Amino acid sequence: MFKKILIANRGEIACRVIKSARRMGILTVAVYSDADRDALHVEMADESVHIGAAPAAESYLVADKIIAACKQTGAEAVHPGYGFLSERASFCAALEKEGIVFIGPKPKAIEAMGDKIESKKFANAAKVSTVPGHLGIIDDADHAEKIAAEIGYPVMIKASAGGGGKGMRIAWSKDEVRDGFDRARSEAKSSFGDDRVFIEKFVVDPRHIEIQVLADAHGNVVYLGERECSIQRRNQKVVEEAPSPFLDEATRKAMGEQSVALAKAVDYQSAGTVEFIVDRDRNFYFLEMNTRLQVEHPVTELVTGIDLVEQMIRVAAGEKLPCAQEDIKLNGWAIESRLYAEDPYRNFLPSIGRLTRYRPPREGKTDKSVVRNDTGVFEGAEISMYYDPMIAKLCTWAPTRLQAIEAMGEALDGFVVDGIEHNMPFLSALMKHPRWREGRLSTGFIAEEYPHGFAPVTPDEDQTALLTAVALSCSLIEANRRERYGDRLRSAAGPLRESWVVRLGADYLPVALLEVVVTIPFEMDMQIGGKTLTVSTDWRPGDAVWVGHIGGSKLTAQIRSVLNGLRIDWQGLSVRAKVFTPRQAELDKLMPVKLPPDTSKLLLCPMPGLVVAVAVIEGQEVKAGETLAIVEAMKMENVLRAERDLVVGKINAKPGESLAVDAVIMEFA
């Protein structure tokens, strides 16, 4: 077994590899760029080596710097994680030349399966079912348009060396093919240094289901069940689960055996994933093979009990697999939610900044479930514009799917992140979505269920009552603490009132207290909307999370102070609450409402990012839907289009400039 390994990656996956290596008694070496000097993976590793500037092309993607770091520290092997150099055969070959072990497959398998075009040719030769498409190199937009017409719309334009949803576009028409081809090539070039793209038929209402395989150097290959990855946005996975609620045992076995056959055909050695598109009739088509560890590997670990990172290390060290196919059993259900630094209320645009608060839920096992959080950040860490926006992967396990969903909902409600925008509200709302809970999924789920983007959820009558109870309990607990300050001569508020009014958003809800004594821990009966609710909690002023029981049901919500009130976040809801006496409520209703400024004549930068292009000039007439500018953030290009016909007045930004969120790019006449 290796004595020391180097992790050629960053963030949560670097931390994840370090944890397994530490359990195995293996020393670890971290590498870091200028932007990651104070990162968590650097702190966790036994040693660390600086490898260059913040852009990945100058640090994490430079193979020579990784090899130099291995020589400097005496690392015997390299774990590449995912992304960066993880699927680059030349990197694997370069390590082998230097006598350093690559913890992953051999160059032959990476070359055969790592390139999407070549992998489909190989799969066709091996009689694996594939999606119809054009596997050759596409010369230009005219060529792409011709091929798309032959295949038939809709089509998928994909980067040959792509991954993570980058360099990928769906085109439903001739015009979209030309634009999608240009955007896919540009993203592929900047993300992977390879601008080759190919086109294939886009399967309508598809499910994205993948099979995890594990193989050693002695000819043993097993499959560890499947993962359902259909909840995607912009072709990037958001929520994954294992097993799939759609597959039956026969389909699972057929997909697994086909995956094993493919792995054996390329002499695969390590953990790998064979991805399939599955249609509504459970017909499955080979999509690609990822010759690396997948982001969503924790859900497989939770349902099989197998540490995939440990097995990758053991296989690389020459050991045999510890289990045969008949030993693999799927136990219970696991779900993974990817916490991204992006604003769900602004069409999920990237967000960067400092994590002023980062308080994940407690990890570990309870009587009913397991909570696991794979992360690479800490409170006070900086979310950089240079890398992927993923902050953490929150996972839950339970005996059944619905129990795992309930555990996930509660864990998300207790996951506190401040300082940046994030997709927690969306993830929390998703856990209550009927279609998700029923397992009626497709890769178009988010686009179909949220066609106009994700908007703040409006509470129903029952939810309003619960939120009202939380708000009033917090107010009474805070008032009780103020009354107990030392050196106070007399009570500032007088006897506890029986009647209160809680304002939630624009609604005013009357509440009657059936008791006039505040106890700590808090327990009180309240009459809200004609119902009597018993409210109990151990919450204290300053606690970020309110945990208690209302009407006999457990509730976990996040509490944040705002001017003269508080904000409550729960199950995708985010409401501002203020507590008044009845007379104060009457006066509050008379207060004028401040309207937001008119920005209809401005193009504002929707996220912190780099201006890639400005597509118009001053004085130009523009039609609705035409491109105004392109802004790049976190390795994704975002095209800003005109929402209506207009005339460009003044342009305030130029290509190459870095802009803050809401910076004015241009003004309209």
Per residue in 35-52, pLDDT (tens digit) is 999 999 999 999 999 999
How far is residue 80's CA from residue 8's CA, in Å, rounded to a whole number? 5
- Residue 635, pLDDT score: 67
* 506, burial (CB in 10 Å: exposed 0-12, middle 13-18, buried 19+): exposed
- Residue 38, pLDDT score: 95
How far is residue 182's CA from residue 145's CA, in Å, rounded to a whole number? 12
pLDDT of 585 over the 80 cut: yes
Q: What angle do CA 294, 295, 297 make, to 5 degrees?
A: 65
Structural contact between residues 403 and 411, judged by C-beta atoms closer than 8 angstroms: no
CA nearest to 133, candidates 123, 669, 475, 142: 123
- Residue 531, pLDDT score: 93
The fold of the 461-485+492-588 domain, in CATH, is: Glycoprotein, Type 4 Pilin (3.30.700)
Distance of CA 651 to the CA centre of its chain: 34
Sign of the C-alpha dihedral, residues 7, 13, 19, 21?
A: negative
pLDDT of 135 over the 80 cut: no
- Residue 94, pLDDT score: 97
How far is residue 443's CA from residue 440's CA, in Å, rounded to a whole number? 11
Q: Does domain 132-201 have CATH number 3.30.1490.20?
A: yes
Domain positions in the chain are: 4-103, 132-201, 208-449, 461-485+492-588, 602-668
Longest dimension (CA), the chain: 88
Give the mean pLDDT of 357-361. Answer: 96
- Residue 164, pLDDT score: 62
How far is residue 382's CA from residue 353's CA, in Å, rounded to a whole number? 6
- Partner residues linked to 306 by β-bridges: none
Q: Does domain 208-449 have CATH number 3.30.470.20?
A: yes
pTM of the full predicted structure? Answer: 0.84
Q: Is 288 a catalytic residue?
A: yes
Structural contact between residues 288 and 161, judged by C-beta atoms closer than 8 angstroms: no
359's enclosing H/E stretch is strand 357-359
Q: Does domain 602-668 have CATH number 3.40.50.1580?
A: no
DSSP secondary structure code for residue 307 in this structure: -
Q: Does domain 4-103 have CATH number 3.40.50.20?
A: yes
Structural contact between residues 405 and 335, judged by C-beta atoms closer than 8 angstroms: yes
Side-chain half-sphere of 414: how many Cα atoms within 13 Å?
19
Query: Do the first three CATH levels of 4-103 and 461-485+492-588 match, i.e. the same topology?
Result: no
Q: State the average pLDDT for the chain.
A: 92
pLDDT of 339 over the 80 cut: yes
Instruction: Single out the catalytic residue among 187, 240, 288, 406.
Output: 288
Structural contact between residues 14 and 6, judged by C-beta atoms closer than 8 angstroms: no
pLDDT of 491 over the 70 cut: no
Strands of 266-305 (E only): list them.
Answer: 270-278, 284-290
pLDDT: which is higher, 124 or 628: 628
With a pLDDT cut of 70, the percent of the chain lying above it is 98
Structural contact between residues 376 and 14, judged by C-beta atoms closer than 8 angstroms: yes
User: What confidence category does residue 194 fall into, taking pLDDT thresholds of 50, 70 and 90?
Assistant: confident
How far is residue 65's CA from residue 78's CA, in Å, rounded to a whole number? 13
User: What confidence category does residue 493 fall into, taking pLDDT thresholds of 50, 70 and 90?
Assistant: low
CA distances from 321 to 124, 256, 310 (A): 29, 17, 11
How far is residue 245's CA from residue 207's CA, in Å, rounded to a whole number? 11
pLDDT of 117 over the 80 cut: no
Structural contact between residues 659 and 631, judged by C-beta atoms closer than 8 angstroms: yes
Give the mean pLDDT of 2-30. Answer: 98
How far is residue 152's CA from residue 131's CA, in Å, rounded to a whole number? 13
Side-chain half-sphere of 509: how many Cα atoms within 13 Å?
28
Structural contact between residues 329 and 593, judged by C-beta atoms closer than 8 angstroms: no
User: What confidence category does residue 163 fall into, taking pLDDT thresholds of 50, 70 and 90?
Assistant: low
How far is residue 199's CA from residue 151's CA, in Å, rounded to a whole number? 9
How far is residue 594's CA from residue 581's CA, in Å, rounded to a whole number? 23
pLDDT tens digit sequence for 137-156: 788 889 999 999 988 888 98
Coil/strand/helix, residue 185: helix
pLDDT of 415 over the 80 cut: yes
